[in-house]
Amino acid sequence: SHFVPLSADVLRSQLLREFGRDYTVDTTTHYVIVRPIEKGAVWKDIFESTYRDVQRFAAQHRLPMQNAEFPLVAVVLGTQNEFVAYLSRLKKNQIPSQTLGCYDPVSNRVITFALADRENPPQQIDSTESLRNVIRHEAFHQAAANTVLMNRFADVPLWFHEGMALMFENESLSSLSSSRERAISTQRDLKVQARLVLARQPSGWLRQIVLSDDLFSTHPRVAYALSWALVSYLNEKHHRSFVNYLTTMNRLAPFEPLSPQRRLADFTDAFGDRWDVLEVSVRTFVDQL
């Protein structure tokens, strides 16, 4: 009846036993981070800067947010093979070969890796933009879920959930000045991808992605590009409605499936039902970025 969180020291001891002598554990203000001993502690800044960006976002939008109740666990495995094996044990299903990281809401851990295996070019965490962006993306999911910014166990539509996380891949909000060039490059890549995808979309794409998450299974690249474009547009141009929609999502009951009818109603209550106008507005917004 009463939850007592573990301290960072106790968590650190447990993680050291779990991952063995080839790994060490770093602690920061909000995280305990498992990493290979031979790798530098470069992950601290990535996770903490993302957490600060979530705090800044909540403050700017006047959204309720509380500090995480316990240290957040991040696991950086040594190779991609170890990463795939770990996720296979965790999720009991096939892991896509291009997966670079994930946030698992059940274990409440972010999991990624430091090096790719021999099938891919060697990648160091401090020199690989794509892997760094993935870590920020997954760290947003974790931080948002543990600070009441996002409803951890609610059936939040993926276009909104993933679109929010994609916004946080961009480090332009971060205080790390050394990340400026990387942030500009990331933002430019997202713009280019979204422009190309939007130019090919038939009328009706917006209603489709609001009604169902199916596009994330059938055409994930398209789904992610559309989600980033849509969430960025709504956040920028319909700020009050955006905040109202986020508030509605946080009121959803945990584990309750969200019907297409409810998804549609929640969206139109916040943003209206002028689908054609919204589609044109999103495309114009991205083209003008």
pLDDT for res 41: 75
pLDDT for res 131: 79
What distance lies between CA 87 and its chain's CA centroid?
A: 17
**Residue 146 CB neighbour total at 10 angstroms:** 22
**3-class secondary structure, 35:** strand
* Least confident interval from 17-21, 41-45, 181-185, 214-218: 181-185
pLDDT for res 93: 67
Q: What is the pTM of this model?
A: 0.87
pLDDT for res 91: 74
Residues 6+ apart with CB under 8 A from 182: 129, 132, 171
Give phi and psi for 113, each to the nearest 5: -145, 165
Q: Which among 142, 186, 184 has a CA at the least distance from the CA of 165?
A: 142
Does residue 166 have a pLDDT over 60?
Answer: yes
Residue 240 bridge partners (DSSP): none
Does residue 271 have a pLDDT over 80?
Answer: yes
pLDDT band at 1 (very low <50, low <70, confident <90, very high): confident
